[in-house]
Amino acid sequence: MKFAVIGDPHGKVVAKSKLSEVDAILITGDLGKADLARKRFFENIQRQKQGLRELKPEKDFERDCYLETHDSALEVVSHYSSIAPVYVVFGNADIHDDEVRKTNEKFRLRLPFFVRDLRKIPNVEILNNRFANLQGVRIGGLEYFVDTSWIREFKPADYEKRFAKAQRQTEKARNVLNWFGRNQVDILLCHQPPYKILDSVGNSAPEQWRGKHAGSKPILKYIQKYSPQYVFCGHIHEAEGHKNIGKTQIYNLGEGSYKIFEIEDDKK
């Protein structure tokens, strides 16, 4: 099987001519543009550092942020689905419909539901916490989660509340990864990298974050225990690259980059 792996698109696409002969396309999450949300996020970090109040979300801003991400994500996936079957996992910028519902209720909006609209696109499978069998090759998809190791490393202001939520998400991710391991998944498609592997935050981030590790310890332990053939991730764009852990090849595809791989089912 020949397949392409696309790093976090954020609204960008690779030309069809470069992917014309692949059997499948895998995407590491963060499908749509998130420029407005990202700008506000880092602005609030700086305000917090200066002792200023955070800028609170308001109706027009929430609508504009969401539609920027929603519309560009659907364009990205439609582009790739016209080339080959597409398998995606969600990153931290991809929004579940229950979150959209809450935003609609809070701000009295009528925003379109992202997952519902994504599922209308033919040739697309959302692989969050599931696996697929492609010509005998088993691909496990792990959606983004807030890892307790991230909370400890970055120490957000609302530490206790965030840590309690991260504990629940991390335990769920561990269970999914153990399930993948027992089912001998060949490829792990995820959003964040394993801890201390292709996960160092670069100089474009706030000063207090630079050099810290934003990867996941459960993903690292899964690799060490089960040794899948490949792990594909993104999230920390400046850490794009390739490393091995034992027999496992790990690729951080960064933002919008791509690679083409061929893999055979050695279990036949």
The tens-digit pLDDT sequence of the chain (268 residues) is 899 999 999 999 999 999 989 999 999 999 999 999 888 888 887 887 788 888 888 999 999 999 999 999 999 999 999 999 999 999 999 999 999 999 999 999 999 999 999 999 999 999 999 999 998 999 999 999 999 999 999 998 789 999 999 999 999 999 999 999 999 999 999 999 999 999 999 988 778 889 999 999 999 999 999 999 999 999 999 999 999 999 999 999 999 999 999 987 554 4
pLDDT at position 265, please? Answer: 58
What is the rounded distance in angstroms from the CA atom of residue 47 to the CA atom of residue 40?
10
pLDDT at position 208, please? Answer: 82
What is the rounded distance in angstroms from the CA atom of residue 146 to the CA atom of residue 31?
18
pLDDT at position 268, please? Answer: 42
57: which DSSP letter? P
Backbone angles phi, psi at 239, to 5 degrees: -95, 20
Q: Which pairs from 110-116 meet CB under 8 Å and 24+ separation?
A: 111/63, 111/66, 111/67, 111/70, 112/70, 114/69, 114/70, 114/73
pLDDT at position 266, please? Answer: 53
pLDDT at position 64, please? Answer: 96
In this structure, CATH architecture of domain 2-262: 4-Layer Sandwich (3.60)
Residue entry with tokens 């005998």: 136
- Count Cβ atoms within 10 A of the Cβ of residue 135 and give its class: 0-12 exposed, 13-18 middle, 19 or more buried: exposed
| Nearest by Cα to 88 from 59, 121, 119, 127 | 127
Instruction: List C-alpha distances in Å: 29 to 38, 40, 41, 56.
Output: 16, 20, 19, 26
Side-chain half-sphere of 7: how many Cα atoms within 13 Å? 21
